[in-house]
């Protein structure tokens, strides 16, 4: 059984965004108007219509993380120029469900718990020099 959302999620994870021709293909495949595919692509947070950068950074903005101060990480990213850097895509996320390890930051799909500004800054500067997070700086 095929679901429209599942198919769009596959495309999103394959390309990092939803290219226009793929949306048109989905519209034909599921026999739904392109306008509806577009409305879905813009309604759900998981989809992006623009290509994403080399590194994807998520900061958890769930309750437990915010209470433990995750909001300063966004300031740190801003200060480091990450928010304007094309190599990086920053997306805040509403809870990863790893609340016991709050505050949580996810970099390129890997979850890092009990994050501090210091550790985040070191990880980001590593990313700007290398391409992968090699060492988990404590």
Partner 1 sequence: MPNRQDGQIRCWIRWDKMVDLDRLKEEGIDKLYSDRIAVGTSTCGIAAGALEVLEELKSKSDANIAEVGCLGLCAAEPLVYVQEDGKAALVYRDVKKIEEAEVLGWFYPWEFSPLKVEHPDLEGYKEYPRLVEHPFYRKQVKVVLRNCGIIEPLDISQYVAMGGYRALQKILEMKPWDVIEEVKKSGLRGRGGAGFPTGLKWEIARKNGGEYIICNADEGDPGAYMDRSVLEGDPFSVIEGMTIGAYAIGAKLGFVYIRNEYPLAVKRVEEAIEIARKHGFLGNNIMGTDFSFDIHVAKGAGAFVCGEETALIASIEGYIGEPRVRPPYPAEKGLWGKPTVINNVETWANISPIILNGWEFFASLGTEKSKGTKVFSLVGRVKNTGLIEVPMGISLREVVEEIGMAENVKAVQTGGPTGGCIPRALMDVAVDYEKLTELGSIMGSGGLVVMDESTCMVDVAKYFLEFSKIESCGKCVPCRLGLTEMVDLIEKITQGKGSLSDIEKLEKLADIVANASLCGLGKTAPNPLLTTLRYFRQEYEEHIEGRCPAGVCRALVRYRIIEDKCTGCGLCKLNCPAEAIDEVDEVYKIDPEKCISCGSCFSVCKFEAVERW
Stretch 20-49 residues interacting with partner 1 (CB under 8 A):
30, 32, 36, 39-40, 43-47
Q: Segment near partner 1 (CB under 8 A), from 14-22, 49-57, 72-80, 126-134?
A: 72-80
Contact status: 56 vs partner 1 (CB under 8 A): no
Question: CA torsion sign, 75 to 138 to 63 to 50?
Answer: positive
- Euclidean distance between CA atoms 29 and 6, whole angstroms: 13
* Residue 104 in the binding site for partner 1 (CB under 8 A): yes
Q: Is 95 in the site for partner 1 (CB under 8 A)?
A: yes
The token pair that represents 42 in the structure block: 């813009």
Among 8, 57, 107, 123, binds partner 1 (CB under 8 A): 8
Decide if residue 59 touches partner 1 (CB under 8 A).
no
Contact call for residue 99 and partner 1 (CB under 8 A): yes
Q: Do 103 and 120 contact (CB within 8 A), yes or no? A: no
Cis peptide leading into 103, omega within 30 of 0?
yes
69 binds partner 1 (CB under 8 A): yes
Q: CA 90, CA 80: separation in Å to the nearest integer?
A: 13
């Amino acid at each position: 059984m095929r679901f429209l959302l599942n198919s769009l999620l596959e495309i999103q994870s394959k390309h990092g965004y939803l290219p226009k021709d793929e949306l048109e293909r989905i519209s034909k495949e599921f026999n739904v108007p392109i306008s509806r595919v577009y409305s879905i692509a813009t309604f759900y947070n998981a989809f992006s219509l623009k290509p994403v950068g080399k590194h994807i950074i998520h900061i958890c903005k769930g309750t437990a993380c915010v209470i433990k101060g995750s909001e300063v990480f966004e300031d740190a990213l801003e200060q480091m120029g990450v928010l304007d850097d094309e190599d990086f895509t920053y997306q805040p996320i509403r809870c990863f469900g790893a609340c016991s390890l709050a505050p949580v930051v996810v970099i390129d799909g890997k979850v890092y718990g009990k994050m501090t500004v210091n550790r985040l800054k070191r990880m980001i500067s590593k990313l700007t020099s290398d391409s992968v997070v090699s060492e988990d700086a404590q």
